[in-house]
Amino acid sequence: MIEVSHLHKTFRVARRNAGIGEAVRALFRREYTEIHALDDISFRIADGEMVGYIGPNGAGKSSSIKVMSGILTPDSGSCVIDGCVPWRDRRAHVANIGVVFGQRSQLWWDVPVIDSFDLIRDIYRVAEHQYHTDLDELCDLLDLGEILRTPTRQLSLGQRMRCEIAASLIHRPRIIFLDEPTIGLDAVSKLAVREFIRRINRERGTTVILTTHDMQDIEALTERIILIGRGKILLDGALDALKAKHSALRRITVRFAPGTPSPAARPLPDGITLLSADEGRAEFGVDTARLSVSAAIECLTRDIDVRDLAVTGQSTEELVVSLYEEFRI
Amino acid sequence: MKLYLRYLAIHFKSQMQYKTSFFLTLIGQFLTAFSTFLGIWVMFTRFSSVKGFTYPEVSLCYAVVLMSFSLAETFFRGFDTFPRMIGNGEFDRILVRPRSPVFQVLGAKIDFTRLGRLLQAAVIFAWAIPRSGVVWTAANVVTLCGMILAGSLVFAGLFLLYAGICFFTLDGLEVMNIFTDGGREFGRYPLSVYGDAVLRFLTFVVPLALFLYYPFLTLLGRSESLLWRICPLFALLFLIPCYAVWRIGLLHYRSTGS
């Protein structure tokens, strides 16, 4: 159980203009700007939940993760995770969490991966028999077999990321923070990583908090999203409900026999807009608040030699972009 | 302790990945230290003694400071390279692990190439010990060991202080090298040659003299003072303010961007 309430964190950042003169001046007098990295952040995450934590760069995602993982001390507010205050009971707290920073490695660069794993086992004081069964399972699920005996520096990014994730699960954390776990991965590795995260969540009941810019990650993994922008929580809710609420817009694509009359040529009723039209293909936007999908289809297909018809909702990607626009972040 | 051995092993394996580089650096370290030793020798070809100390005596003094420094640099190197650890976010990783940060920084960097200097120090010891005129009673042997041990810890304290200050500046303070590398160079000669003011500073502020100078005089039989003999113990007090600065710095830690 994670309970965060009214977290504040402000950084003072020294600012100066470009140029040598300014640099010299800055030695003596500095101008600071205050940046509210976290501005009254509150939320609650239950055990076993999978939450997508999203927001543009510099929104405060990393700062929140750092507070929750005991790296940063907030200026005010409280955060209690399974009975521990992360920055006060740091050692007790971090024994129960796993953290993956997608852009930084926790593996020792020049030695085989298995040596890093052994060292991590000792750092967390994991019992020998548990380590072996867990390692076998992780190797199996993430297909690590051969990779374990390869030095980290020779791994591909996808292989390395799978090892990173395995490394942060060696001590069986109850909560795992994943900071952009699929960044830079190819399609196959992404799918493997996602599938694995889902399994860990389902089978071990591990709470997963995921920050990412990859909307497919969000779509594939999380039911709940928390949107953060300029240090504030803008939205917190189920992804499906959010989609339903924010995307009254449907897209209808009609393919018809070439040479026959196009539905794009006829007068369109209120609620339908023509998005694009080609030979044998036309695309429309339908505002379902004003016109039902069935009425729109009925109108668009009347007396048309339809070959194919597709109705699509707004993608998560588009949803997030429209949310960013809505909140002006 | 077992975990520390693990760290040692993993660093040893890592460094053995690049054998040529490792041995070249090792030899380089040996030779630079040796050149300093030659410098002292050249000095003594002109003058038979410096402030009443003979060449073997000065060599013994140099060997003590060199060995202390190289031990500190080998095993406490993590603090010396600490600004980089803060800069690249490696320190964040340390904070999400359930062990003490000091211990983990120690384990994060162990540089065996620095043992080149240690080897050099051993060679000078081997040369200077029979020639220095010191009577090697049990008490003197213990004192010498105490000097080396306290010396490494004082240098370790300086590294820790340096790292603690990095929390505030987020960057290294080169000025600290005056005391670390500078201390090593100062220690070439018994510290009294630099005059009273410097000696006082090196006694009460940065206690190099406590492990290097006063017990050294008792070794040479120039002083019978028991207090001076146990001075290395007092040098350890220096670790307290160093650790305090580190703790305060840790509270101020603000990480870097993702």
Task: Return the residue of A nearest to B89 by Cα.
Answer: A104
pLDDT at B171: 65
- Edge-to-edge strand list for the sheet holding A306-312: A272-278, A281-287, A249-256, A306-312
pLDDT at A247: 65
- Edge-to-edge strand list for the sheet holding A97-101: A97-101, A175-179, A207-211, A50-54, A224-229, A232-238
DSSP B192: G
Q: H helices of chain B, where?
A: 2-16, 19-46, 55-75, 77-80, 82-87, 90-95, 101-108, 115-131, 138-169, 181-186, 196-204, 208-212, 214-219, 226-229, 231-235, 239-251
Strands A281-287 and A249-256: antiparallel
- Edge-to-edge strand list for the sheet holding A31-45: A31-45, A2-15, A76-81
Q: Which of B7, B14, B255 sits opposite A71 (nearest CB)?
A: B255
pLDDT at B21: 87
Cβ atoms of A47 and A65 closer than 8 Å: no
- The continuous run of DSSP H or E covering A201 comes out as none
Its sign, for the CA torsion B80, B81, B85, B90, is negative
pLDDT at B116: 85
Q: What residues have CB less than 8 Å from A191, skipping those under 6 apart?
A: none
Q: What is the mean pLDDT of residues A12-34?
A: 71
What count of other Cβ atoms lies within 10 Å of the Cβ of residue A36?
16
CA dist A84 → A54, A94, A157, B247, B250 (Å): 25, 10, 34, 21, 19
CA separation for the pair B91, B69 (Å, rounded): 25
Task: Return the residue of A nearest to B253 by Cα.
Answer: A72
Contact B6 A110 (CB under 8 A): no
CA separation for the pair A93, A87 (Å, rounded): 8
Residue A26 binned pLDDT confidence (cut-offs 50, 70, 90): low
Strands A224-229 and A207-211: unpaired
Contact A71 B95 (CB under 8 A): yes
Q: What residues have CB less than 8 Å from A109, skipping those under 6 apart?
A: A151, A152, A153, B14
Cβ atoms of A79 and A7 closer than 8 Å: yes
- Side-chain-side CA neighbours of residue A230 (13 Å): 6
Contact of A213 with chain B, judged by CB distance below 8 Å, is answered with: no
Task: Return the residue of B nearest to A74 by Cα.
Answer: B254
CA separation for the pair A284, A305 (Å, rounded): 17
Q: What angle do CA B208, B210, B216 make, to 5 degrees?
A: 100
pLDDT score of A102 more than 80: no
CA separation for the pair A169, A146 (Å, rounded): 19
Q: Which of B7, B96, B257 sits opposite A69 (nearest CB)?
A: B96
User: b/e string for A73-104 if b means 16 or more Cβ within 10 A?
Assistant: bbeebebebeebebbeebeebbbbbbbbbbee
Model ipTM value: 0.81
Q: What is the mean pLDDT of residues A122-140?
A: 92
DSSP lists the bridge partners of residue A76 as A8
Between A163-167, A172-176, A247-251, B246-250, the lowest mean confidence (pLDDT) is in A247-251
Interface test with B, best of A69, A73, A110 (most B CBs within 10 A): A110
In terms of pLDDT, which residue wins out, A24 or A49?
A: A49
Q: Which residues of A touch B99 (CB under 8 A)?
A: 91, 123
**One pLDDT digit (tens) per residue for chain B, 258 residues:** 788 888 888 888 888 888 888 888 888 888 887 887 788 888 788 877 778 888 888 889 989 999 999 999 999 988 888 888 888 888 999 999 999 999 999 998 888 888 888 888 999 999 889 988 888 899 999 999 999 999 999 999 999 998 998 888 766 667 777 777 888 888 878 888 888 888 888 888 889 899 989 999 998 888 888 888 889 999 999 999 999 999 998 888 876 654
Contact B14 A73 (CB under 8 A): no
In terms of pLDDT, which residue wins out, A246 or A68?
A: A68
Length in residues, chain A: 329
Could you tell me the two tokens for A110?
């020049």
pLDDT at A242: 77
Task: Return the residue of B nearest to A110 by Cα.
Answer: B14
CA separation for the pair B113, A290 (Å, rounded): 75
pLDDT at B258: 42
CA separation for the pair B116, B127 (Å, rounded): 17
pLDDT score of A49 more than 90: yes
CA separation for the pair B79, B40 (Å, rounded): 30
pTM comes to: 0.81
Question: What is the C-alpha end-to-end distance of chain A, expressed in Å?
Answer: 29
CA separation for the pair A284, A300 (Å, rounded): 9
Q: What is the mean pLDDT of residues A240-258?
A: 79
Q: What is the mean pLDDT of residues A64-88?
A: 92
Amino acid sitting at position A273: T
Contact A104 B88 (CB under 8 A): yes
CA separation for the pair A143, A137 (Å, rounded): 10
Is B197 strand, coil or helix?
Answer: helix
Residue A20 binned pLDDT confidence (cut-offs 50, 70, 90): confident
